[in-house]
Amino acid sequence: MRLQRGRRMLTGFTAISLTDIVFLLLVFFLLSSTFVLQPGIKVDLPKTTVPEIAAERRVVITITADGTLYLNDRKVSRALFPSAIRQKLLSVGNPMVVLRADKRVSLELAVWVMDVARQAGAERFAIATQTKPSKSI
C-alpha cells in the first residue's frame, strides 16, 4: 500500500528571507555608525595629520562656537563650571581631560577652561582635532 504525501518537497532554494535579514543588518550598521563619529554637540574641530590617541578614562570638555561649555555632553554655565569639573575629576580619579573646542573659539576662553581644570586637579590634557588626509609626496 502506497500512501500519498500531501506536500511536495521543495527542490529550489529561496533566498528572499535571507536577503531581508542582510538588508536590515546593513541598514542597522549604517545608521549606528553615524552616531559614533560625532555624538551630541556639533563642534568644528581644527585639523591635524596625526590621529587622536584614545584614553581609557577621560573627561571631555566641549566649547561650542558661541562659547557654551559642556562637561561630558552636559551643559554647564561658566559660573558652575569650576565646581562641576572638580566634582567630575574626583569621581573619575586621574583622568585625561580632553578639550573639544570649536576652531572659532577664542584662545582666552580655551586657556581659562584649562586653567580652571588644572586648579580643580587635572594633570593631563589633550586637545581634540580632526584628522585630515596627509598629502603623498
In a domain, 36, yes or no: no
CB 63 within 8 A of CB 100: yes
As a dihedral over the C-alpha atoms of residue 80, residue 83, residue 89, residue 92, rounded to 10 degrees, the angle is: -80
In a domain, 9, yes or no: no
Length of the chain measured in residues: 137
CATH of residue 104: 3.30.420.270
CB 87 within 8 A of CB 64: no
In a domain, 29, yes or no: no
- Specify the pLDDT at position 55: 45
Residues 6+ apart with CB under 8 A from 96: 55, 57, 58, 59, 124, 125, 126
Q: What is the pLDDT of residues 6-33, one digit of tens each?
A: 677 666 667 777 888 888 888 888 777 6
- Specify the pLDDT at position 39: 53
- What is the extent of the structural domain holding 73? 47-131
In a domain, 64, yes or no: yes
Structural domains of the chain, count: 1
pLDDT (mean) for 3-8: 68
Nine-digit cell string for 8: 511536495
In a domain, 39, yes or no: no
pLDDT (mean) for 96-118: 91
In a domain, 31, yes or no: no
Full-model pTM? 0.58
In a domain, 27, yes or no: no
In a domain, 115, yes or no: yes
Q: What is the pLDDT of residues 38-94, one digit of tens each?
A: 455 676 766 766 655 544 578 899 999 999 999 988 999 999 999 999 998 888 877
